[in-house]
A and B are shown apart, each in its own frame.
Chain A
Amino acid sequence: MKIHASAAAIALPRPKVLTAYFAVLIILLYLPLAVLFLFSFNNGTSLSFPLQGLTLHWYEKLFDSPEILRAARNSLVVAVVSGSFATILGTAVALLLTRFRFRGEGFLFALAMLPLVVPIVVLAVALLVLFLTAGIDRSLWTVAIGHTVVALPFVVLIVTARLTGFDPSLEEAAMDLGASYRKIIVAIILPLIAPAVISAWLVAFTVSLDEFALALFLAGNEPTFPVYLFSQLRFASRLPVMIALAVLLMMGTLLLVLIAEWIRRRGQRGAVVKG
């Protein structure tokens, strides 16, 4: 059987073509980002060739620009708040979907997943209407509320996947020994799903950090970083500094996502060993 399998694999046409295709596509995917990276070190204000020599000037200037740093700080605050809310609410939904039988289970799942499919522009203007009807001024809080809704489906999916992955016998044993439901959740389930919850938080955090479409409508006088970046696109001379910060932010987001993925995989490996 083994021999046949590898023979079949070798016989399939032009394996090199596929590898080359993958390589070319990866290069194309990275090229625009590489160009941004390159121009963040360019000693000139316009984004055009030839390069004017390398400099760290834009990165230095970055730390002298209070509005930029303020916008970045705003983004971090919104991401921490909305990431935390989304994680708490999404974990609750995941627990309900996997550990309780009740009428309206399908409804709850659909409700939690809907923000994924409703066009962001529609959700954005709907929230705008809500806040203005209720007389709530736009602020970082309104952005955080919107981001919580958008991040919720991701948390539900990640935590549900973990909860369906492990054996419920520990919970059953605890229940037989008379532990209360609340105690089972706090003392058994939550520690077991902790890696998934942390990774869900990081994903929700990065979703918020990067989110622009909702924030553009919901941010008041305090812009988040993407909204600020967008507002500065008109001013050519500000561009290199913005790109420098964008590059830093990109690296930061990437690092977080890689950490989230690493934690999630470690958690999964743990689950296999325990199961």
Chain B
Amino acid sequence: MLGQRASFWALYLPPVCWVGLFFLVPIVLMFALSFRADMQGDLLSLWWPTLAQYEAIAAVGSYWRLLAISIVMALFVALLAVALAYPIAYFLVFRAGRAAALCLVILLIPFWTSFLLRVMSWKFLLGSEGVINSFLMYLNVIAEPLSGMLYSRKAVIVTLVYVWIPFAALPISAGLQRIDSDLLEAAADLGAPPSRSFWAITFPLSLPGVLAAFFMVFIPTVGEYVTPLLIGGSQGSMYGNIIQDFFTKAANWPRGAALSMVMLAVTLILVAVAARLVNVRRLLG
């Protein structure tokens, strides 16, 4: 028994210490930092906790507006990615047959290549002297380059949908696979037309997978900052970008820390909602 206990601690302490030190402690430090009035003095010096940063945030409408915009953008991205991925998942599970494994790999290859590169490729596609414009001008479809494709919220949404589609298809197809085919056969035997059996059986039973896909796209997208940085420019920035700015350009870390805490709170609420609605363990099998 002693050996078992020793093995337990040998396995337990390293990961818990690592995650504690490099995940929990930093977040606690940020929490503490958010109660600091300014950046005066050493990072380690003591300070009187103050709500000044949170009061400042509450008073500035543009932070909340950007947070709301980020949530709405993430909502659009998640809904579009799920809607576009659903037929793919359906195809993989019910139509692809023996080619399903191959089709899945083909679908996932773009997802496995570099995230930064996939986002960047859209920058090159959409730019005013970019691939799409120059191609259309080369074909004489347009005389002047279409401006305003890049550096907008729409461009950010399109790029993120593109990035997420293969990923969104995974939980949906996992959900579709769990549907008992006897139900579909019974519906067919009883003379239900295919569209009826889809809407009465397949679709409702696939909802857990759809919800999982929705949240797996929605939650990380709310906190996204790289895509708006590259594709959005100043017109298409998201909430994550103001956090980044306060830690880099503006160098007002306490404000950035308070904004991060708001972001963290929003994320954890979303995770809690998702955990209530989706039984992750059941979906994983």
Contacts and interface: CB of A to CB of B under 8 A. Distances in A.
A11 B14 contact: no
Interface in A1-58: 1, 4-5, 7-9, 11-13, 15, 18-19, 21-22, 25-26, 28-30, 32-33, 35-36, 39, 46-50
B188 A7 contact: yes
B165 A182 contact: no
Contacts of B4: 181
B117 A22 contact: no
Contacts of B268: 117
A273 interface: no
B165 A112 contact: no
Given A130-B29, A145-B22, A180-B3, A12 B117 contact: no
Contacts of A196: none
Interface in B116-170: 116-118, 120-125, 127, 129-131, 133-135, 137-138, 162, 165-166
Interface string A226-250: 1001100100000000000010011
Interface string A241-275: 00000100110011001100100000000000000
B95 interface: yes
Contact of B90 (A18, A36, A217, A226): A18
A132 B43 contact: yes
B61 interface: no
A257 to B, nearest CB: 4
Nearest to A36: B121
A177 interface: no
Interface stretch (B5-13, B47-55, B171-179, B206-214): B5-13
A65 to B, nearest CB: 18
Contact of B260 (A5, A126, A250): A126
B12 to A, nearest CB: 6
A146 B162 CA distance: 27
Given A29-B166, A50-B138, A122 B131 contact: no
Nearest to A217: B247
In this complex, the interface size class of chain A, counting residues with CB under 8 Å from chain B, is 35 or more
A119 to B, nearest CB: 3
Contacts of A130: 22, 25-26, 29
B114 interface: yes
Contacts of B105: 258, 261
Nearest to A35: B131
B115 interface: yes
B96 to A, nearest CB: 8
Could you tell me the dominant secondary structure of chain B's interface residues?
A: helix
B253 to A, nearest CB: 7
A95 B124 CA distance: 45
Interface string B192-207: 0011011000000000
B46 interface: no
Contacts of B59: none
A69 interface: no
A89 B15 contact: yes
B117 A246 contact: yes
Given A21-B87, A35-B121, A8 B184 contact: yes
Contacts of B8: 96, 100, 102
A206 interface: yes
A5 B14 contact: no
A32 B26 contact: no
B165 A253 contact: no
A112 to B, nearest CB: 7
A33 B109 CA distance: 11
Given A29-B107, A125-B256, A152 B87 contact: no
B217 interface: no
Contacts of B162: 28-29, 32
Contacts of B112: 206, 253-254, 257-258
A115 B122 CA distance: 28
A125 B247 contact: yes
A259 B185 CA distance: 38
B66 interface: no
11 contacts: A21-B87, A28-B162, A29-B162, A33-B121, A96-B11, A117-B267, A118-B267, A122-B263, A226-B114, A253-B112, A254-B113
- Which 9 pairs show the lowest CB-CB distances between chains A and B? A119-B223, A48-B134, A126-B26, A32-B121, A8-B188, A130-B26, A12-B194, A181-B7, A89-B15
Given A15-B95, A182-B3, 11 more contacts: A12-B194, A12-B198, A22-B103, A32-B162, A90-B15, A119-B263, A123-B26, A181-B4, A210-B114, A210-B115, A226-B114
